Amino acid sequence: MKRFKKYLVRSLLVLLAIALTMTVIATIWYFSNRVAIFEATDALTNHDSFVDPEVGQQTLETLRQRLLQLRRDENHPAVSVCLAQNGKVLWSEAQGLANIEANVNATRQTQFPIGSVSKPITATAAMLLIEQGKMSLDDKVESLVPEFPKKSHSITVRQLLSHQAGIRHYKMAWKPPWFTEMGINQHYESIEASLSLFADDPLAFAPDSKFQYTTFGYTLLSAAMENAAGDTFLNLMHTSLFEPLAMTSTLADDRNSRPESRSTDYMSTFDGWVVRLPETDSSCKWGGGVFLSTPDDLARFGIAVLKDQIISAESRKLMFEPRTTSDGQVNPQHYGLGWRSGKLQLDTGPDQFVQIVHHGGTSVGAQCVLLLVPDSEIVVAICANSYTGGSGDLLRAAASFAKQFIGKE
């Protein structure tokens, strides 16, 4: 018993020493790297914008003030937004600094990592392959990706699209300041190579019995799409979506060939500063989080979705419809095939709502959201170049922007 107590005390002391060491390292790193945003520049007044004549001056002032409030409240060095209705861009604007240290202003051409907003884009390309007869929603992944080890249950394309396949998400890893696999800085030359991160892990649950959001599930989906199309994933995305929709600023965030117009990665802190983050590599995420884009490009994509320019109305409705788990309950995120579905309460009354579909994206040093209001044909895309803990702040701002135009079709 005494030996056990001594062992326990020693173990606790070791853990305490490790915790203190990590705290000291993190503190030194933080104070060495933090930057004050608004003291460094007059970027509060810097903006690059396009405004359609249909947008009244009072509405424009309301939009700009809300965008500025988003920057102030959440400590984003730069934010960029695009709002379109009925297939036409009404307002596009970038505020702030794409790079604080070099004093580089953000423009409408600044490219941001969009994180998981990659997922509805990838899912749309998958649905296009399905419409072309190259794969089906109920195809087994083991037949599409034979190099992926067989699991205790078969997995379908439908289950991967809806995060109900049982593939795990990021796990803990020594990748400060994240301490999860989100911060991986290892480059994978191919999707097949990146599958090694999770290929040997068991399923977290029987497919469709639960819901677990997972970027790695979309990595596996990307491999299935490659094999079904007989083309590389990135070339497939370019030829099926980016080129036809003139999404000229959307591409893979390849650390070996990053464009000069890419935003710099920061993290907001509790005391109103930001810290520049270490470099990471997105090549393990592929269809779940590999892309750079601009709000203008994302608006083009959203317009094409609502106008059924890429896939059929039937496929679009299927993507928007939340899936149920095997107990008959709608999954907790109301997730369909690449999109979350919800309701937006209007200011006209407590029981006045409109349907929305949306997806947020969080990457190392950037956040993004894409919001669609189908009944009003409104698309809102927002990108920012700091991590604040999640994209909820951007979603709330996008909803407030959309409200300015609902009912004005």
Q: Does domain 112-403 have CATH number 3.40.30.10?
A: no
Predicted local distance difference test score (pLDDT) of residue 42: 44
Mapping DSSP to helix (H, G, I), strand (E, B) and coil, where does residue 138 land?
coil
Cβ contact 84:302 at 8 Å: yes
Predicted local distance difference test score (pLDDT) of residue 23: 59
Mapping DSSP to helix (H, G, I), strand (E, B) and coil, where does residue 197 land?
helix
Q: Which residue has the tokens 């001594």?
A: 6
- Please state, as a whole number, how many other Cβ atoms lie within 10 Å of the Cβ of residue 3: 7
Distance separating alpha carbons of residues 276 and 286, to the nearest angstrom:
24
Distance separating alpha carbons of residues 85 and 108, to the nearest angstrom:
18
- Amino acid occupying residue 12: L
H helix intervals, 268-352: 295-306, 313-320
For the chain, counts of helices (H) and of strands (E): 11, 14
The model's pLDDT over 4-32, given as tens digits with 9 standing for 90+, comes to: 566 566 767 666 766 676 556 555 555 55
219 token code pair:
């990595």
Q: Where are the domains of the chain?
A: 1-32, 112-403
DSSP string for 113-146? E-GGGHHHHHHHHHHHHHHTTS--TT-BHHHH-T
Distance separating alpha carbons of residues 256 and 252, to the nearest angstrom:
11
Element (H, E) at 398: helix 392-403
DSSP bridge pairs for 373: 378
Which segments of the chain have a pLDDT < 50?
39-44
Predicted local distance difference test score (pLDDT) of residue 1: 62
Cβ contact 202:270 at 8 Å: no
Predicted local distance difference test score (pLDDT) of residue 29: 54
Predicted local distance difference test score (pLDDT) of residue 389: 85
Mapping DSSP to helix (H, G, I), strand (E, B) and coil, where does residue 249 land?
coil
The model's pLDDT over 155-174, given as tens digits with 9 standing for 90+, comes to: 999 999 999 999 998 876 65
- Sequence-ordered strand ranges (E) for 28-108: 34-35, 47-51, 78-85, 88-99, 104-105
What are the C-alpha distances in Å from 289 to residues 118, 148, 363? Answer: 5, 20, 8
- List, in order, residues 6 or more apart from 42 with CB less than 8 Å away: none
Predicted local distance difference test score (pLDDT) of residue 63: 96
Predicted local distance difference test score (pLDDT) of residue 268: 87
Element (H, E) at 220: helix 215-229
Distance separating alpha carbons of residues 20 and 33, to the nearest angstrom:
20
Cβ contact 390:75 at 8 Å: no
- Please state, as a whole number, how many other Cβ atoms lie within 10 Å of the Cβ of residue 214: 21
Distance separating alpha carbons of residues 234 and 127, to the nearest angstrom:
16
Predicted local distance difference test score (pLDDT) of residue 33: 60
Cβ contact 202:152 at 8 Å: yes
Mapping DSSP to helix (H, G, I), strand (E, B) and coil, where does residue 225 land?
helix
Indicate left, alpha or beta for 290 from its phi (over 0: left) and psi (-120 to 50: alpha). alpha
Indicate left, alpha or beta for 364 from its phi (over 0: left) and psi (-120 to 50: alpha). beta
Predicted local distance difference test score (pLDDT) of residue 349: 74
